[in-house]
Amino acid sequence: MTTYIVRRLAQAVFVLWAAYTLSFGVLYLLPGDPVTVMAAGGGDSTSATPEQLASLRTRYGLDRPVAEQYATRLGHALHGDFGASVHTGEPVGRMIADAAPATLELTAATLALALPLGAGVALAGTYTRRRWAAQLLLSLPSAGVAAPTFWTGLVLIQFLSFRWGLLPAFGDGSAASLLLPAVTLALPAAALIAQVFAKSLRTALAEPYIGTAVAKGASRLRVHLSHAARNAALAPLTVVGVLVGQVLAGSVVVETVFSRNGIGRLTATAVSAQDIPVVQGLVVSGACAFVLANLAVDLLHPVFDPRLTATGPTAVAA
């Protein structure tokens, strides 16, 4: 078990380093002058004087050799320091910390809706003996995955807010205002969970141990929930880690559509303003959240399959 945990931690550290390195290369080393880009702020950079550009270059250490820039910025990033925003002068870490609670609240609400909904559709679709009901239930995830997030949000706003007046369309000051954005993100997430879980359940139900459980007198419901569902849970559990990244990416659109303050809206603002320090801080913070979620999922895997604690894949195959 210790070897398994150490290997997963090493992978997590490597992914974070790679995310930082790639973001540094994309934002600072691609053709073009990042100082000119930051000075433009999404507009015309010709208004900036050479003295202003030189001051900005010195302020962000862009007049130093690339290797020194990388090492210095990496050292600061390890302490949570990504510099200051070009436009507001506020520390990037503080901006992200102020925006994070709203997005974490939205992510938690999304997963709280998506997990039972996706699992319920998969369980019902594979349990029912009515062919038409199974086809209907198992076709819903495809529709949920195919629907664009922004379209789903606009449809919910149109009917539930503007037409029927059941829920507020915009803002983030109450639990009611959280429901529509959470549902918008939860529908495609639940669809993905249902697709993966249903396929895994079908595979588990075809295994020999299911016939053994039935022969010993276990009821159909018990076989489905206690035997098949437990062994089929590994695949959807893995998907949950991926969904964290999907929800964070979707929050850029959803928080903009529903006028919510959070990481997504901060990202949209920073990109449109070409605020490079903020963009890099957001990229690394998003990678950190994604890595932590997947690390938690990896550490839960042995609960469902103890063979995964072995040091090599051959042990699992055995």
Domains of the chain: 32-79 (no CATH), 93-317 (1.10.3720.10)
CA distance 218 to 155: 45
CA distance 123 to 246: 23
- pLDDT tens track, the chain, 318 positions: 678 778 888 988 998 999 999 988 887 776 666 777 677 665 555 567 788 778 877 877 878 888 898 999 899 998 888 888 887 889 999 999 999 999 999 999 999 999 999 999 999 999 998 999 999 999 989 888 888 888 898 899 989 989 888 888 887 777 888 999 999 999 999 999 999 999 999 999 999 989 899 888 989 999 999 889 988 888 888 888 888 888 888 888 898 889 898 999 899 888 888 788 899 999 999 889 888 888 888 888 777 666 665 544 434 433
Backbone angles phi, psi at 91, to 5 degrees: -55, 135
pTM > 0.75? yes
Q: How open is the CA angle 92-250-189, to the nearest 5 degrees?
A: 135
- Residue 247, judged by CB atoms within 10 A of its CB (0-12, 13-18, 19+), counts as buried
Task: Report the 10 Å Cβ neighbour count for 296.
Answer: 13
Angstrom CA distances, 258 to 30, 166, 184, stand at 34, 15, 10
Q: Is the distance from CB of 153 to CB of 259 less than 8 angstroms?
A: no
Q: Which of 23, 56, 21 is nearest to 37 (CA)?
A: 56
What pLDDT, on the 0 to 100 scale, is given for residue 7?
85
Task: Report the 10 Å Cβ neighbour count for 158.
Answer: 12
Kindly calculate the radius of gyration of the chain based on its CA atoms and give it in whole angstroms: 24
Q: Is the distance from CB of 223 to CB of 196 less than 8 angstroms?
A: no
